[in-house]
């Protein structure tokens, strides 16, 4: 069986030029004794915006792995696929993020709900789970309500997993993640337990599951929410997963997946401590913030690189509504804190780097500029070879930023710091 390793970290490489620089951060982590396995992810939506094919992600990763002699595993994630988008990822992905959020709340068949409820008397009443202080108290109404809310989504996950399995030659030949994060309401730990029981009944060999957690996970900036509540929820979810593996025979390596939207720095120490206390694994997916390191590197390079960054910012600023619309639920931009393009043109390369580079304690950091640029990668895509040639010409300074970002700001606090 193709098994997902204990620690995996998802990186995006929108323009397929930074796989080597990304991999260098995993090499540095491995050299310090912790194996974190890279997973390159890119969603159908990003491929559509950039005009790329899924195969390009695999090819860029494979080239980096070859060039750097990476001997550990690596994966390519068909990120947030559904039945209507999965097919073009089948040959080039070994990891599938099965997104069934759209089916949450769809009415399941009454007969299926009844079958589930009859099979699972243990999900009613007082449920004691090792590692959770306060036992869950589940009324029959609450259980039935949760099953009605999630069963159609779980059945859809089963349909997609079987669709992939038939085409890959078996369910043991790919890694299945089930994601329910792109929805309005978070899933509570008792709901996660019921969802895992449904997934087991549906026969989905889920190796990692991405619930929606409480709080805001905006793209490319830190977590906004109650840290104490997150900590409790995260630890309860870990306990629920360990319990569900024993109780329902799910894959023993089943773990939580955090679709972080990148840079949830204030959560990292909590996640690290919870992993240490429990021995749990983790998949942490980041968004395509590597592209922002490209911007930082090109700005620092000055000359034509800085000029292009200024043009991209000006275009993004003028088309802010268009670029923000698809991400409205996951960005918070205060337009008053965005310099207009004329003011931005006075920024030196170093000013731009400091505004965009995510060091929250730096007074020059500007989360609004960062978020606007983050959602404006289409502008760079439209530049085509002009953009790619600048990346190649400045690969050293860009790559340095890419590696340092992943290693210093992600690998260290998640996997290495004491």
Residues that bind Zn ion (CB under 5 A): 181, 259
Cβ 264 to Zn ion, closest distance in Å? 13
Cβ 223 to Zn ion, closest distance in Å? 15
CA trace torsion 77, 80, 81, 84 (10° rounding): -160
Q: Which residues of 307-347 form beta strands (DSSP E)?
A: none
Cβ 101 to Zn ion, closest distance in Å? 8
Cβ 300 to Zn ion, closest distance in Å? 31
Q: What CA–CA distance (Å, rounded) separates 406 from 263?
A: 10
Q: Which is nearer to Zn ion, 371 or 394 (CB)?
A: 371
* Structure-block tokens of residue 346: 């006075």
Q: Which is nearer to Zn ion, 18 or 286 (CB)?
A: 286
In sequence order, which residues have a C-beta less than 8 Å from that of residue 131 and are 6 or more positions away?
235, 236, 238, 239, 242, 278
Cβ 99 to Zn ion, closest distance in Å? 7
CA trace torsion 14, 17, 20, 26 (10° rounding): -20
Cβ 318 to Zn ion, closest distance in Å? 29
Name the residue with tokens 């491995």: 30
Q: Which is nearer to Zn ion, 201 or 237 (CB)?
A: 237
Q: Which is nearer to Zn ion, 259 or 410 (CB)?
A: 259
Q: Which is nearer to Zn ion, 262 or 394 (CB)?
A: 262
CB atoms within 10 A of CB 384: 10
Burial 290-322 (b: 16+ CB within 10 A, else e): bbbbbbbbbbbbeeebbebbbbbbbbbbeebee
Cβ 259 to Zn ion, closest distance in Å? 3
Cβ 401 to Zn ion, closest distance in Å? 25
Per-residue DSSP letter, 415: I
Q: What CA–CA distance (Å, rounded) separates 403 from 19?
A: 10
Cα 371 from chain centre: 17
Q: Which is nearer to Zn ion, 177 or 293 (CB)?
A: 177
Phi, psi of 288 (to 5 degrees): -80, 45
Nearest residue to Zn ion, scored by beta-carbon proximity: 259
Q: Which is nearer to Zn ion, 59 or 182 (CB)?
A: 182
Cβ 179 to Zn ion, closest distance in Å? 5
Q: Which is nearer to Zn ion, 260 or 371 (CB)?
A: 260
Which among 418, 414, 416, 1 has a CA at the least distance from the CA of 207?
Answer: 1
Q: What CA–CA distance (Å, rounded) separates 90 from 105?
A: 28
Q: What CA–CA distance (Å, rounded) separates 213 from 256?
A: 11
Q: Which is nearer to Zn ion, 181 or 222 (CB)?
A: 181
């Amino acid at each position: 069986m193709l098994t997902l390793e204990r620690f995996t970290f998802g990186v995006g490489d929108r323009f397929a030029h930074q796989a080597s620089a990304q991999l260098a951060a995993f090499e540095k982590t491995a050299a310090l004794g912790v194996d974190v396995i890279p997973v390159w992810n890119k969603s159908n939506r990003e491929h559509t915006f950039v005009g790329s094919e899924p195969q390009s992600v695999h090819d860029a990763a494979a080239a980096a792995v070859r060039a750097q002699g990476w001997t550990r595993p690596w994966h390519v994630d068909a990120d947030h696929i559904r039945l209507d988008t999965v097919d073009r990822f089948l040959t080039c992905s070994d990891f599938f993020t099965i997104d069934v959020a759209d089916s949450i709340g769809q009415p399941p068949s009454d007969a299926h709900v009844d079958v589930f409820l009859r099979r699972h008397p243990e999900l009613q009443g007082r449920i004691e789970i090792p590692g959770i202080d306060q036992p869950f108290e589940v009324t029959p109404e609450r259980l039935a309500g949760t099953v009605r809310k999630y069963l159609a989504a779980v059945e859809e996950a089963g349909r997609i997993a079987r669709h992939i399995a038939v085409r890959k030659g078996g369910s043991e030949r790919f890694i299945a993640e089930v994601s329910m994060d792109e929805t309005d309401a978070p899933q509570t730990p008792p709901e996660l337990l019921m969802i895992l029981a449904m997934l087991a009944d549906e026969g989905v060999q889920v190796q990692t599951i991405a619930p929606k957690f409480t709080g805001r996970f905006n793209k490319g900036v830190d977590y906004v929410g109650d840290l104490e509540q997150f900590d409790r929820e995260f630890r309860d979810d870990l306990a629920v997963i360990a319990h569900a593996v024993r109780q329902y025979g799910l894959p023993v390596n089943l773990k939580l997946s955090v679709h972080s939207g990148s840079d949830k720095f204030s959560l990292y120490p909590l996640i690290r401590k919870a992993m240490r206390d429990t021995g749990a694994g983790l998949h942490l997916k980041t968004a395509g913030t590597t592209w922002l390191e490209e911007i930082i590197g090109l700005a620092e390079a000055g000359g034509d690189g800085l000029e292009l960054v200024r043009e991209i910012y000006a275009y993004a600023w003028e088309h802010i509504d268009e670029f923000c619309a698809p991400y409205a639920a996951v960005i918070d931009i205060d337009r008053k804190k965005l310099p207009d393009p004329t003011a931005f043109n006075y920024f030196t390369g170093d000013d731009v780097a400091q505004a965009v580079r995510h060091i929250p304690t730096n007074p020059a950091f500007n989360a609004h500029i960062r978020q606007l640029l983050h959602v404006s990668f289409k502008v760079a895509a439209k530049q085509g070879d002009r953009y790619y040639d600048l990346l190649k010409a400045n690969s050293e300074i860009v790559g340095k930023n890419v590696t340092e970002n992943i290693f210093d700001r992600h690998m260290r606090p998640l996997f290495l710091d004491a």
